[in-house]
């Protein structure tokens, strides 16, 4: 009997050693206060070592996070993974490196970090005046990089998979960390469930560039990463933690609605869009947009995220040319993916002369004289043709039907379209 028990225990021990740990480790979270922008830092303890996912905005908060980890486990912190190049994700690297912690992110994220650091340091030191040159967090980049995807083998035998998404997400590039045992996804600020997001966008050549359509496309990549793990959750940089499908649906809906609300507001401004060129006259518009977004999402936390970041999304839209010379009352119309398909006639606005074309509020004009309006070089030419030609041919969508209307235009009908 004793021999049988010894044999059985030996078999069980061998199985444990060859198949790895029988249970997943523990995922913990440290959340800063508003001084650190209410940022979640995650840490995964496999029982033998701790892996951090992202740092905090300042070294003091990164130190507080480390102290929390040490109170909860005796496992040493061995590495930190940075999910994207924003300062609340990498500003704590210098402190962690001083503790001997290794660091890794994508090659693209590492390449972007120096310019992001310079842009943010200038803002916080010279404009916001929240720091001085001397006390702004010292910059250090990650020590190791990867491209595409890589796998980290933990001491317990568990693995973490790192994926560089095809679409850029909240900044210029995005890394997702998967706990392979559970399928849980740690995604940084790609997802803020039930919390407003940072709308500044990536810092490209020293300027913010926000593309919510590409961000939504990046979010849509998440379900494939958790395939076969029905209980997997998304852990975002702020907000709540929910199952993957729920997180993806809510975040994509949020981004696309924000895009539409901002499009509508800018289109209705008409000639007053020039006020957005001056920070002093732009501020009331940013406040008005914040109020609209808060009304649209009354149960979402952290509205201050909009206040300090909406300038990036607005500036990107103005620079894109989609709104340049657009008559008041025409609003960019987009597919659920965020792709521009034409221009919608506002319910609230009157565009001089368009009633002669048989158009109604809500109609989406997709072409004039056969010229697709999604090509910006066509748009000005097409609108000028409408003003000058005797006959007008307009292709539009109404209630999912595509219609073409060819109309003889009374002289001067569209001269008021400015």
In the prediction, which pLDDT does 23 show?
A: 57
Last residue of a domain, one of 257, 283, 311: 257
| pLDDT band at residue 394 under the 50/70/90 scheme | confident
- Give yes or no for residue 418 having a pLDDT over 50: no
**DSSP characters over 231-273:** T-EEEEEEEB-EEHHHHHHHHHHHHHHHHHHHHHHHHHHGGGG
Is 33 part of a structural domain of the chain?
A: yes
Assess whether 32 and 151 both reside in one domain: yes
In the prediction, which pLDDT does 346 show?
A: 73
Is 274 part of a structural domain of the chain?
A: no
Assess whether 239 and 101 both reside in one domain: yes
Assess whether 68 and 202 both reside in one domain: yes
In the prediction, which pLDDT does 379 show?
A: 72
Is 364 part of a structural domain of the chain?
A: yes
* CB atoms closer than 10 angstroms to residue 291: 12
* Per-residue pLDDT tens digits for 9-63: 333 333 333 334 445 799 999 999 999 999 999 999 999 999 999 999 999 999 9
Is 264 part of a structural domain of the chain?
A: no
Assess whether 52 and 181 both reside in one domain: yes
Q: What is the pTM of this model?
A: 0.83
Which CATH number do you get for residue 343? 2.30.42.10
Assess whether 215 and 342 both reside in one domain: no
Assess whether 30 and 117 both reside in one domain: yes
In the prediction, which pLDDT does 8 show?
A: 39
Q: Count Cα neighbours of 168 within 13 Å in the Cβ-side half-sphere.
A: 19
If one compares 403 and 60, the residue with the highest pLDDT of the two is 60
Last residue of a domain, one of 239, 257, 275: 257
Assess whether 253 and 335 both reside in one domain: no
Assess whether 161 and 251 both reside in one domain: yes
In the prediction, which pLDDT does 269 show?
A: 85
Mean pLDDT of 174-187: 98
Last residue of a domain, one of 208, 226, 257: 257
- Give yes or no for residue 377 having a pLDDT over 90: no
Is 267 part of a structural domain of the chain?
A: no
Least confident of 136-140, 199-203, 241-245, 368-372: 368-372
Calculate the average pLDDT of the chain: 87
If one compares 358 and 173, the residue with the highest pLDDT of the two is 173
Residue 334 to residues 212, 290, 296, 324, 371, Cα–Cα distance (Å): 12, 22, 19, 17, 18
The number of folded domains in the chain is 2
Domain of residue 44, residue span:
26-257
Mean pLDDT of 364-368: 85
Is 16 part of a structural domain of the chain?
A: no
| pLDDT band at residue 5 under the 50/70/90 scheme | very low
Is 172 part of a structural domain of the chain?
A: yes
Residue 276 is given by DSSP the state: G
In the prediction, which pLDDT does 351 show?
A: 53
Calpha distance 305→312 (Å, rounded): 12
Assess whether 215 and 348 both reside in one domain: no
In the prediction, which pLDDT does 18 show?
A: 35
In the prediction, which pLDDT does 410 show?
A: 59
Q: Provide the b/e sequence for 308-329 (b: ≥16 CB within 10 Å).
A: bbbbbbbbbbbeeebbeebbbb
Assess whether 247 and 343 both reside in one domain: no
Question: Under a CB-based contact definition with an 8 Å cutoff, are residues 162 and 177 in contact?
Answer: yes
If one compares 292 and 279, the residue with the highest pLDDT of the two is 292
Which CATH number do you get for residue 207? 3.60.15.10
- Give yes or no for residue 283 having a pLDDT over 90: yes
Assess whether 51 and 191 both reside in one domain: yes
Is 289 part of a structural domain of the chain?
A: no
Among residues 246, 327, 258, the alpha carbon closest in space to that of 296 is found at: 258
- Give yes or no for residue 135 having a pLDDT over 80: yes
Least confident of 13-22, 238-247, 252-261, 378-387: 13-22
Share of the chain above pLDDT 70, in %: 86
């Amino acid at each position: 009997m004793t021999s049988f028990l010894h044999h059985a225990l030996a078999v069980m021990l061998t199985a444990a050693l060859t198949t790895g740990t029988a249970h997943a480790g523990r995922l913990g979270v440290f959340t800063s206060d508003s001084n650190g922008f209410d940022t979640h830092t995650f840490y995964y303890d496999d029982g033998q070592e701790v892996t951090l996912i992202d740092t905090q905005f300042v070294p003091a908060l990164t130190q507080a996070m480390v102290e929390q980890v040490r109170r909860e486990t005796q496992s040493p912190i061995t590495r930190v993974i940075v999910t994207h190049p924003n300062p609340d994700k990498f500003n704590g690297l210098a402190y962690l490196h001083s503790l001997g912690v290794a660091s890794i992110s994508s090659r693209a994220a590492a390449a972007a970090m120096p310019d992001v650091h310079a842009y943010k340091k200038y803002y916080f030191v010279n404009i916001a005046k929240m720091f001085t040159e001397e006390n702004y967090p010292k910059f250090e980049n990650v020590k190791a990089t990867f491209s595409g995807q890589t796998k980290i083998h933990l001491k317990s035998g568990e693995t973490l998979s790192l994926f560089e998404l095809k679409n850029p997400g909240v900044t210029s590039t995005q890394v997702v960390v998967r706990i392979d045992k559970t399928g849980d996804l740690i995604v940084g600020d790609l997802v803020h469930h039930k919390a407003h997001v940072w709308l500044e966008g990536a810092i490209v050549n020293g300027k913010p560039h926000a593309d919510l359509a590409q961000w939504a496309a990046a979010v849509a990549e998440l379900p494939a990463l958790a395939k076969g793990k029905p209980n997997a959750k998304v852990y975002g940089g702020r907000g709540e933690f929910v199952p993957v499908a729920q997180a993806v649906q809510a975040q994509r809906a949020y981004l696309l609605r924000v895009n539409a609300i901002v499009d509508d507001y800018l289109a209705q401004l008409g000639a007053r869009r020039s006020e957005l060129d001056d920070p002093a006259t732009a501020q009331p518009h940013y406040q008005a947009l914040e109020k609209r977004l808060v009304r649209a999402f009354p149960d979402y936390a952290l509205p201050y995220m909009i206040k300090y970041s909406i300038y990036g999304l607005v500036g990107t839209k103005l620079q894109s040319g989609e709104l340049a010379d657009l008559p008041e009352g025409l609003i960019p119309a987009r597919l659920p993916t965020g792709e521009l398909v034409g221009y919608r006639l506002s319910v609230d606005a009157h565009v001089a002369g368009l009633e002669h074309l048989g158009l109604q509020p809500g109609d989406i004009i997709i072409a004039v004289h056969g010229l697709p309006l999604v090509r910006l070089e066509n748009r000005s030419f097409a609108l000028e043709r409408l003003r000058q030609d005797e006959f007008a041919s307009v292709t539009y969508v109404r209630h999912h039907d595509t219609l073409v209307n060819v109309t003889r235009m009374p002289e001067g009908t569209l001269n008021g379209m400015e």
